[in-house]
A = this chain, B = another copy of it.
Amino acid sequence: MVLNNKGPVSEATRQRVLKAIKELNYHPYRFARVLATRRTGNVGFILSEKHFNRAEPFYTRIFLGTEFEARNFDYYVLLTSIRSTFRRSDLPRFLKERNVDGVIIAGRINDEWIRYIKGREIPLVLIDYVPENLRVPCVLIDNVEGGYEAVRYLLRLGHRRIGFLGGSPGHPSIQGRLEGYRKALAEQGIPLREEWVITDLPETTIEDGYRGMQRLFGAKDLPTALFAANDAMAIGAMKAIKEAGYTIPEDFSIIGFDDIEWSYHTDPPLTTMRVMKEEMGALALRRLIEIVEGRNPLEEKVLVGVRLIERRSCRLLSSGET
C-alpha cells in the first residue's frame, strides 16, 4: 500500500515501511506484480521495416522520445518492426501473447494492422499517420500550419513564383502540407500554377525529389522558389537543380520539411520546418497511458507544431526581381 499509494496507511507505519525498503534495498519484482494485476508495464512500439530503415533517423528519434518518457511512468517499451503488408504470421509476439498494455505505431502502415489491434481491444495510439476510415487517437504533425508557414516565409522573402514538390498524394502529411501551401498563396491572391505543383510521385524519397524536380524543369517558365514537402525530396531536388547548372539559392530558393540531420550538411545547408520528433513520441506515450488507465478515452487527434529553421537555401528577392 505504501508503494502503490493506495489504501489507508498511517504516517508512522508508512515511514517504517519506507525505512525497511531502504535498508533491505528492496525493489518490487515487476513480474510478480504483473501476474497479480494483469498489467504488464510494457508498451509496444511498432515501426514498418521501411520506416525503420529510412536513411535518416526520423522515426527512431520519435521512439527515443517515447522511451525517454516511458521512464517517468516506469514502463518498458518493446520496439519491433513489421512488414508493410499484413500477415498474421508475422504479428509481433507481444501482440499475440498480450505482453503489452498498449501499442504505439509510428508512420504510415497497412490499415489491416490497425484493424487487428483495435479488434483485439488493445489500446493504440498512432503517430504521424491517420487512417481514412478508422477512428484512432493520433499524434500528428501540424502539416497545414507548417506548410503555410513555410510558404509564408518564402513570401516574406519576396517570392511570388513558388512551386510545390510533393510525393504521393495518398499520403495525408503531404496533403496537409499542400493545403498549407495553397492557403498561403490564396491569402496573397497568387494564383496556383498547376505545372509547378508536383504531386504524383511514387514515394517521398530523395529519388522522387530528384525526378520531380526534373519534371518541373519541363514547365515553360520556372518558379524562383520551391517548397519541398520533406527534406529528402528537397535534397533530391537540390541535386537536380545543380545538375541542371543552376545554383542555390541564387537561382532557386528551396525550403524543406522535417529537419532531418542531413539537412544541415547539404550544400548550402537547407532551410526547413523542424518537426519535434522526441516531443511527438513522448506525447503519444502519455496519451496511451491515459487510455490504458481509462482516463480520457475519447478519440482525439493532437497536433504538434513545427518551427522554421533558417539556414542558407533561401534568399531574399530584391525588389526588381519576380
Contacts and interface: CB of A to CB of B under 8 A. Distances in A.
Interface of A: 27, 29-32, 34-35, 40, 42, 52-57, 60-61, 63-64, 67-68, 71, 74, 76-81, 93-94, 96-99, 206, 235, 239, 260-262, 265, 267
Contacts of A80: 67
Contacts of A68: 81
Given A27-B97, A35-B31, A52 B56 contact: no
Given A35-B32, A40-B31, A57-B60, A67 B81 contact: yes
A22 to B, nearest CB: 14
Nearest to A206: B265
A78 B76 contact: yes
Q: When A and B form their complex, which 3 residue pairs have the shortest distance between CB atoms, in order from nearest?
A: A55-B261, A31-B34, A27-B97
Contacts of A99: 30-31, 76
A57 B94 CA distance: 25
Contacts of A239: 267
State the copy count for this chain.
Answer: 2
Contacts of A31: 31, 34-35, 40, 99
17 contacts: A27-B96, A29-B35, A31-B34, A31-B99, A32-B35, A35-B35, A53-B61, A55-B261, A60-B60, A67-B79, A71-B93, A76-B93, A76-B99, A78-B78, A79-B79, A235-B265, A262-B262
A93 B42 CA distance: 13
Contacts of A32: 35
A55 B58 CA distance: 9
Contacts of A40: 31
A60 B67 contact: no
A117 B40 CA distance: 25
Contacts of A79: 63, 67, 77, 79
Contacts of A27: 96-98
Given A29-B35, A53-B61, 14 more contacts: A27-B97, A31-B31, A31-B40, A35-B35, A52-B57, A53-B57, A55-B56, A55-B260, A57-B57, A63-B79, A64-B81, A68-B81, A74-B93, A77-B79
